[in-house]
A and B are shown apart, each in its own frame.
Chain A
Amino acid sequence: MHELPQNLVNGLLLGATYGLIAVGYTIVYGIVQLINFAHGEIFMTGAFGALSVYLGLGSGTSMWITIPLMILGAIVTSTVIAVLTERLAYRPLRNAPRLAPLITAIGVSITLQQLVWGFYPSAKSPRVFPSLPGGPYHIGSILIQSSDIFVLVAAVLSTLFLAYFVRSTRTGRAMQATAQDPDTAKLMGINTDRVIVIAFALGAAFAGIAGVAWGLRYGEIKFDMGFLTGLYAFTAAVLGGIGNIYGAMLGGLVLGLVQNLTAIYIADIPGMSQFSSQSWSSVWAFVILILVLMVRPQGLLGERVADRA
């Protein structure tokens, strides 16, 4: 029989990564109602930023210095790129019909992907990412790599930080206000442009951390890794209820579990043995999305929002 605890842990770890990326989708969507298609690419550039830092430091440096610097590099890269795209591509279209920024987002996504593909040294094929030393650790029957611990710690810390930030800081409350009603927020003296930039930056920082986590876990990064991962992360955001930060995390965890468990347990359903391999897992993730939209379109934690004209 398959090892259920191990699969649960693997699913949760995958889900935590999705959740980190999904936060970016959900914050931005909550405030400007824009699906930022380029967010998956922001995640990817974060991973490449971290790799650049690693390559720049050389191999002699201690892991305790390298890893924080890599995280910093990832956060800086993805944040700078996200803020730049917001400034140059999205802001001029703030009041345009909603199709325009969506199409711009697709353009940004393709552009970023191609920039990395074309101009990052030998990024046309997957680049090897450093791995964490130590491990694997056994906890009962569960096998855990040191990169898994990183993902776990990063996800928990990030969520706690975000919760604190949104609830207890002035900027966080300004974000909530802007999400609820941008016009009134503006009347109350909130600089909504700044709030929007912060939303983009915050989401990008999380995506950068996710990029490092991804690289450490899978050992290699690719220019197009942001596309499908971004799609899953968005699915996670919708699953949890778009606009809801905890929902994004929860959605990520659920999606990670579904992907991991379907890959194994579908085979046990009579007649479905052929549909269980890893290559079908994305199909099941997608089926879940459709089902959620049918049954609970507002997502797991979302509230039914009145249509904003």
Chain B
Amino acid sequence: MTDTLQLQSEAAARPKPAIPLPTSVARAATAAGAVITAASAFLSWTYSSQFPGDLTVSGYPGGLQWITFAGGLLTLLYTLVGYRVPVLRLLAPGGPEGTTVLLAVGSAVTTWFTLIAISVELGGLANLTGGGWVAGVGSLVAVVGALALPRDGEQTQDAKLRVLLYAGKRPELPPTQPESPWVEVPVVLVTLAVALGIFSYGIDTAYAELFGGFLILTGFTAWALNRSGDFTRLAALMQRNRTTAAVGAFVAAGLFPFTQQGGNAEANANLGVSILIFAATALGLNIVVGLAGLLDLGYVAFLGVGAYTAALVSGAAGAAFHVQFPFWAAALLGAAVSGVFGVLLGAPTLRVRGDYLAIVTLGFGEIFRIVVQNLDGTSGPNVTNGAIGISNVPDLNIFGFDFGSPHSLGWFTIGRFANYFELMLLFTAIIVLVFARSTNSRIGRAWIAIREDETAATAMGINGFRFKLLAFALGATLAGLAGTVFVHVNYSVVPDTFQFAGPTPPNSAFLLAAVVIGGMGTVTGPLVGASLFFLLQAKLSFLHDYQLLLFGLTLILFMRFRPEGIIPNRRRQLEFHEAETAEA
């Protein structure tokens, strides 16, 4: 009697795999499936070279086949971890099974995504050759095998959670002893190099199908690595080597233009610098929204103030003032003017409790656009040249370095946009520094206190109004700073750029989404969110008509299911899931 009870409880504790197969068979099937998937990338998948990337060649992978290849190899790697290969154990501190499932599913999804894309675009399954079918079947075998693997992690009765738990939450790992710096620093550097490689590859994807496949596999891999505990370990490692990681990240980002040397170099560098501007602005917004908890819905207007200020003193032909400031002066002026606007707007509204700020900033964003549009000489005095905007903003020239023309550095050529990329990187570094320093200071703690409970914070002697105004003005200043570069990169500035919501970034809604979906209150969150958003809208242009719709739905779904964002701030995460943890 007791024996059966015990057996039952054991069975309950150890969750059953989704597909009942002997473990050895399951592992073998997963490994075989992964190998077949990876190998199939070397076969021809279709008869016609009409499909982008030319998948007709046997002998080496091309286009989307590279994605499948990578997916197969990763699945194989984590299957081998399951075989308890000695060194590889280190790769999955949280257990390899859930990771393998995710990777197998990820490579199957990308593979089938490719096959379906071929069939749809070329008209019918008949366009697939044997190689394509091998890839499809192989990836499915791996999924079936992975689903039959013994499962790690705890069981839950909640059907809703069960699906999520299959992939699992990030495992709680015991803290590890620091390794010697001779081990840790290279790991940091290799991680950064891999990140740079993935990012450069993603930007360089030439067509929407390739980007789609890339995105699917990257997403699943990130999920898988989170499940395996690798991210937990890496995060701890990065935290220990904070300075190395930060400096290394900026060096890696600075090397990005050097990875883009082909025919698309300028276009990709342009993408890169636009992402940086967008991300830096989002980071500024993160001070306002993420740290101080003030909802700013017209943030892009501050970018606009900076951009217009810089354009007006740039000596552009269309500008009302015929002066040309040196760039450092223009940048400081742009930031200062933007900051003044922030104070002017914040002073009356921040005294009032409640959500008025949201609506006032939303109004300000709209009004800024309307005012700039009206200052055209007919509806008002001519300052900004109205809807036509200020064009022909000259390229920068700092200490004799001409940003407008390409420069050669050894074997590498650094084009116009790449020059601006490096400049903007410097500005981003400044913004990151401001963000990081203020977070860990008295000011940052005051902001967080106000965000959590303003009454309590005031009782502790924090002057709520002053700190809120500081956050608001600081955010405005940083956006203005980014705006000064923005106008030079784009040659011109027009009022329509600064909308609340539009199909192209930067606009206030996208900025807010980058912060919220990336992760409020973190440095990496908005950077990741901004890159993701910008790349998505730039690469998936065929979705153009539905982009905003998808965007709106994404906001709703994220708030419902993961309000803390992709990269959560620990404190925020607990706050958002207060109810669940309280019940448990």
Contacts and interface: CB of A to CB of B under 8 A. Distances in A.
Contacts of A293: 348-349, 351-352, 356, 360
Interface in B495-516: 500-501, 509, 512, 516
A40 to B, nearest CB: 11
A274 interface: yes
A110 B353 CA distance: 26
Contact of B545 (A99, A118, A290, A294): A118
B293 interface: yes
B576 interface: yes
B194 interface: no
A112 B555 CA distance: 13
Interface string B350-370: 011111101110111011001
A89 B555 CA distance: 10
B509 A106 contact: yes
B576 A294 contact: no
Interface string B365-403: 011001101100001110000000000000000000000
B546 interface: yes
Secondary structure dominating the interface of A: helix
B295 interface: yes
B19 interface: no
Contacts of B380: 274-275, 280
A279 B356 CA distance: 24
Interface in B510-546: 512, 516, 520, 545-546
B556 A290 contact: no
Interface in B530-584: 545-546, 548-549, 551-556, 559-560, 563, 575-576, 579
Contacts of A104: 555-556, 559-560
A286 interface: yes
Interface string B222-255: 0000000000000000000000000000000000
A93 B546 contact: no
A118 B549 contact: yes
A102 B549 contact: no
Interface string A225-241: 00110010011001000
Given A35-B355, A35-B358, A307-B353, A286 B363 contact: yes
Contacts of B509: 106, 110
A307 B549 CA distance: 36
Contacts of A286: 363-364, 366-367
A283 B364 CA distance: 9
Contact of A107 (B366, B371, B556): B556
Most interface-central of B348, B381, B575, B579 (chain A CB within 10 A): B348
A110 B349 contact: no
Contacts, number: 134
Among B500, B512, B520, find the residue whose CB has the most chain A CB atoms closer than 10 A: B500
Interface string A96-134: 111111111011111111110010000000000000000
Q: Which of the four size classes fits the interface of chain B?
A: 35 or more
B552 A274 contact: no
Contacts of B24: none
Contact of B576 (A96, A111, A309): A96
B349 A309 contact: no
Contacts of A228: 366
A107 B554 contact: yes
Contacts of B579: 95
B379 A279 contact: yes
B343 interface: no
Contacts of B356: 238, 293, 297
B297 interface: yes
Contact of A93 (B289, B549, B560): B560
Nearest to A309: B455
Contacts of A290: 345, 348-349, 360
A228 B548 CA distance: 18
Contacts of A107: 551-556, 559
Contacts of A106: 297, 509, 512, 552, 555
A231 B360 CA distance: 9
B362 A231 contact: yes
B450 to A, nearest CB: 13
Contact of B552 (A93, A109, A238, A307): A109
A92 interface: yes
Nearest to A277: B379
A7 interface: no
A282 interface: yes
A265 to B, nearest CB: 17
Given A103-B559, A297-B351, A114 B552 contact: yes
Nearest to A101: B559
Contact of A283 (B370, B546, B551): B370
A99 B289 contact: yes
B363 A289 contact: yes
B35 to A, nearest CB: 43
A100 B512 CA distance: 12
Interface in B245-289: 289
B359 A118 contact: no
A97 B501 contact: no
27 contacts: A89-B556, A89-B560, A95-B579, A100-B563, A100-B576, A101-B559, A103-B295, A103-B559, A104-B556, A106-B509, A107-B555, A110-B501, A110-B509, A111-B549, A111-B552, A112-B552, A114-B548, A115-B549, A227-B500, A228-B366, A277-B374, A279-B373, A279-B379, A282-B370, A283-B367, A290-B345, A290-B349
8 nearest CB pairs, A to B = A107-B555, A111-B552, A110-B552, A114-B549, A107-B556, A294-B348, A104-B559, A297-B352
Given A35-B355, A290-B360, 18 more contacts: A93-B559, A100-B559, A102-B355, A107-B556, A110-B501, A111-B552, A111-B553, A114-B546, A118-B545, A235-B363, A277-B379, A279-B373, A280-B374, A282-B370, A283-B367, A283-B374, A293-B349, A297-B352
